[in-house]
């Protein structure tokens, strides 16, 4: 029998997978935040839970910050370890990617879940949360990385230690203050994203061995988002959420964070600071000067459109009801999704060439999600996998990734991009 929440879980996974693959064109915190924002919005939208109506936009914004926080972590060398023909190095690579992906998911899912609980009845002191996460990040990094020398990605940045400290602090805050629902979302989101990143590295190795010219780095990114979306959706839909008052959905500031702030940073960092010449040499060598000016300008016009959209929907939100709040959330979700697609086509030049076929698969994914979203609704299934089950799932994932490391290392004698630590 199919799980009653199969469709909302699948749609969340498809959405976060697609946007995380798009994120590969932009990287860093801002790119991850945009992907996380759309994934969180989609989960609230397809679940159609009344109790999320008043806090959905706010939860998506904080979820975006959580998913985006992990963008500071370096993992390129870990991918190289996963391609090693040596079992120990390959397993180390996959398990280290589990850590990195797990931190993405734990912070993103945890802050998203905490945002869902924030209401006039139960206010979350976000300034305190920010302070505790900052202190946790500083203590962990300087003690474990600087003093003890527990380095996972030498000679690259060890910013994973910052995220690990923030994640531990978030877990302690959620546990200490009785936010069991948010902690559950964080745990499943972290397990899903962690497995997805390690498994994605295995898929990338298989794809590279196949000799196909397809972008298998993108497959790895999609895998992180897809399984992270499964975990976040399952965690959120297998717990009990308190209803929030209708007045809680009147605040419009999350709209400006989602639609204005995050896209602006992406535009500034990717279209103004990034050199577009290597891409333009491939797709429009005879018109490089024109497109080097036109692409950032088009991207800026799209951003201006998002600013106007945020202002318009903010007015609707303040004047409307709970039903209009869901309407605003739906419009925000698909608008952000489409804008991210447009930015991806611009930054890769795929609107001028078909040299990047995965870009067109994003459009197919979007069409499927658009078609199925209206047919989705969720039933909260209280219970599901509990404490002992979560621990068993954790060890099962570790064992599976070690097995994949053994398989991967046995398939080849060496390949481009591999790294060796041991």
3-state secondary structure the chain: CCCCCHHHHHHHHHHHHHHHHHHCCCCHHHHHHHHHHHHHHHHHHHHCCHHHCCCHHHHHHHHHHHHHHHHHCCCHHHHHHHCCCCHHHHHHHHHHHHHHHHHHHHHHHHHHHHHHHCCCCCCCCHHHHHHHHHHHHHHHHHHHHHHCCCCCCCCCCCCHHHHHHHHHHHHHHHHHCCCHHHHHHHHHHHHHHHHHHHHHHHHHHHHHHHCCCCCHHHHHHHHHHHHHHHHHHHHHHCCCCCCCCHHHHHCCHHHHHHHHHHHHHHHHHHHHCCCCHHHHHHHCHHHHHHHHHHHHHHHHHHHHHHHHHHHHHHHHHHHCCHHHHHHHHHHHHHHHHHHHHHHHHHHHCCCCCCCCCHHHHHHHHHHHHHHHHCCCCCCCCCCCCCHHHHHHHHHHHHHHHHHHHHHHHHCCCCCCCCCCCC
Domain that holds residue 209: 6-245+357-410
Does 25 fall in a domain?
yes
What is the pLDDT, as a whole number, of residue 247?
47
Overall number of domains in the chain: 1
Does 173 fall in a domain?
yes
Does 20 fall in a domain?
yes
Does 180 fall in a domain?
yes
pLDDT-wise least confident of 147-161, 237-251, 375-389: 237-251
pTM greater than the 0.85 cutoff: yes
Share of the chain above pLDDT 90, in %: 74
Residue range 75-83: average pLDDT? 95
Indicate the pLDDT class of residue 188, thresholds 50, 70 and 90: very high
Does 57 fall in a domain?
yes
What is the per-residue pLDDT across 347-390, written as a single tens digit (0 to 9) for each? 999 998 888 889 999 999 999 999 999 888 777 766 677 888 99
What is the per-residue pLDDT across 90-139, written as a single tens digit (0 to 9) for each? 999 999 999 999 999 999 999 999 999 987 778 899 999 999 999 999 99
Residue range 167-191: average pLDDT? 96
Residue range 250-255: average pLDDT? 84
Does 350 fall in a domain?
no
Does 42 fall in a domain?
yes
Does 68 fall in a domain?
yes
């Amino acid at each position: 029998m199919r799980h009653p929440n199969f469709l909302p879980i699948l749609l969340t996974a498809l959405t976060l997978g697609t946007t995380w693959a798009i994120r590969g064109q932009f990287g860093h915190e801002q790119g991850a935040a945009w992907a996380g924002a759309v994934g969180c919005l989609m989960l609230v939208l397809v679940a159609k839970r009344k109790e999320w109506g008043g806090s959905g936009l706010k939860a998506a914004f904080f979820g975006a910050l959580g998913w985006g926080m992990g963008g500071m972590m370096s993992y390129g060398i870990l991918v190289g370890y996963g391609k090693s023909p040596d079992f120990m190095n390959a397993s180390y690579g996959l398990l280290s990617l589990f850590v990195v992906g797990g931190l993405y998911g734990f912070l993103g899912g945890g802050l998203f879940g905490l945002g869902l609980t924030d209401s006039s009845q139960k206010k979350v002191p976000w300034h305190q949360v920010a302070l505790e996460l900052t202190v946790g990040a500083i203590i962990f990094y300087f003690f474990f990385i600087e003093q003890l020398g527990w380095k996972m990605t030498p000679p690259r940045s060890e910013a994973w230690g910052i995220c690990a400290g923030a994640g531990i602090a978030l877990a302690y805050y959620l546990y200490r203050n009785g936010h069991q629902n948010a902690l559950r979302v964080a745990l499943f989101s972290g397990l899903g994203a962690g497995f997805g990143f390690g498994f994605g590295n295995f898929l990338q190795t298989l794809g590279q061995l196949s000799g196909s010219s397809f972008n298998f780095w993108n497959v790895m990114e999609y895998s992180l988002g897809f399984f992270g979306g499964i975990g976040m959706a399952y965690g959120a839909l297998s717990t009990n959420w308190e209803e929030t008052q209708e007045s809680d959905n009147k605040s419009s500031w999350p709209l400006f964070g989602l639609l204005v702030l995050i896209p602006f940073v992406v535009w500034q960092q990717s279209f103004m600071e990034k050199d577009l010449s290597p891409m333009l040499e491939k797709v429009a060598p005879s018109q490089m000067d024109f497109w080097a000016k036109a692409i950032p300008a088009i991207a800026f016009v799209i951003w201006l459109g998002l600013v106007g959209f945020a202002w318009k929907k903010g007015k609707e939100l303040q004047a409307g009801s709970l039903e209009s709040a869901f309407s605003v959330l739906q419009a925000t979700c698909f608008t952000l999704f489409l804008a991210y697609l447009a930015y991806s086509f611009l930054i890769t030049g795929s609107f001028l060439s078909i040299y990047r076929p995965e870009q067109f698969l994003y459009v197919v994914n979007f069409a499927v999600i658009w078609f199925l979203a209206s047919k989705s609704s969720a039933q909260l299934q209280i219970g599901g996998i509990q404490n002992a089950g979560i621990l068993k799932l954790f060890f099962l994932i570790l064992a599976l990734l070690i097995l994949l490391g053994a398989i991967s290392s046995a398939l080849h004698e060496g390949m481009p991009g591999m790294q060796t630590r041991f």
